[in-house]
Amino acid sequence: MTHILSVSVLNKPGVLTRIAGLFSRRNFNIESLNVGRTENPEISRMTIVVNGDEKTLEQVQKQLHKLINVLKIKELDQTQIVERDLILIRVKCTRQQRSEIIQIADTFRAQIVDVAPDSLMIEATGTEDKLEALTELLRDFGIAEFVRTGIVALSRGQVIER
C-alpha cells in the first residue's frame, strides 16, 4: 500500500540526512522523496512516498515526529490532492520519427525542450500514471535516458460536501 506523507521540516543543516537515516535504520521503504522550499524560507516541505501496511505507516509517522526538526506530518488523502511528478526523457529518434514523437508529446501536453540530430528531449509533468503511459509509448523509439523528480503533492482547497 502506497502512502503520501507531506512533512514540514525546519531548514536546519542535516535535516535531510536525519530523515533519510531514520528510514534506513528503522527498515522503512521510501519510494520517493522530494524536498523543496515553501512560502516560509525557514521551512521546507518534503513529500515522501512510502510503501507499507497501516502499522508500518503509523511507526513511520511517530518516529518522524520524534525528530526535533520535524514540525508537521500529514498523510495526504489520495482522493483529495493534486499530485505532480516531472520527467525529462531523452528519446532516440531519426529524422523520420521526429514528427510522430512530437505528436505523442503534444497529446500528453509535454514540451520538447531539446532537439539533437539523433534524439529529442521531452519534459512532462503530471501524475505518476500519466508519466508512465508516456514513457511506455516512447519506449518503442528507444529511451536514451530519463530522470524523474518523484511526487510533490498538496491537499486541495475547500472540499465540497455532497
Partner 1 sequence: MPKMNGGQIIIESLKKENVDVVFGYPGGAVINLYDALYSSDIKHYLGRHEQGVVHAADGYARSSGKVGVCIATSGPGGTNLVTGLANAHMDSVPIVAFTGQVPSSLIGKDAFQEADITGISLPITKHNFLVTDVKELAKTIKEAFFIARTGRPGPVLIDLAKDVTQAEMEFEYPDKVDLPGYNPTFEGHKLQINKAAKKINEAKKPLLYVGGGAVISGADKEVRELVDKAKIPITTTLMGLGIYPENKELALEMLGMHGTQYANLATTEADLLIAVGARFDDRVTGKLDEFASGADIIQIDIDPAEIGKNVSVDIPIVGDVKRVIKELLPYIEEKEMGEWQKYVIDLKKRYPLKYEDDGSETIKPQYIMEEIDKYTKGDATIVTEVGQHQMWAAQYHKYQKPRQFITSGGLGTMGYGLPAAVGAQVGQPDEKVVLIAGDGSIQMNIQELGTAAAYNIPIKVIIFNNNYLGMVRQWQEFFFEKRYASTKIPAPDFVKMADSYGIWGRSIDKKSDLDKALKEAMEHDGPAVLDIHIPQEENVYPMVPAGAGLKDMIEGEK
Residues lying near partner 1 in the complex (CB under 8 A):
9-10, 13-14, 17-18, 21-22, 25, 55, 58-59, 62-63, 65-71
Nearest distance from C-beta of residue 77 to partner 1, angstroms: 22
CB atoms within 10 A of CB 47: 23
Q: How far is the CB of 150 from partner 1 (least distance, A)?
A: 23
Looking at the Cβ atoms of 42 and 118, the one nearer to partner 1 is 42
What would the grid cell of residue 80 be? Answer: 483529495
Q: Which is nearer to partner 1, 40 or 99 (CB)?
A: 40
Nearer Cβ to partner 1 (67/112): 67
Q: Which is nearer to partner 1, 26 or 156 (CB)?
A: 26
The least distance separating partner 1 from the CB of residue 19, rounded to whole angstroms, comes to: 11
Nearest to 85 by CA among 141, 156, 146: 146
**Would you say the C-alpha torsion 35, 36, 41, 44 has a positive or negative sign?**
negative
Q: Report in angstroms how near the CB of residue 8 gets to partner 1 at its nearest.
A: 9
Q: Which distant-in-sequence residues (6+ apart) come within 8 Å of 4 by Cβ? A: 47, 48, 49, 75, 76, 78, 81, 83, 151, 153
Q: How far apart are CA 89 and CA 74, in angstroms?
A: 31
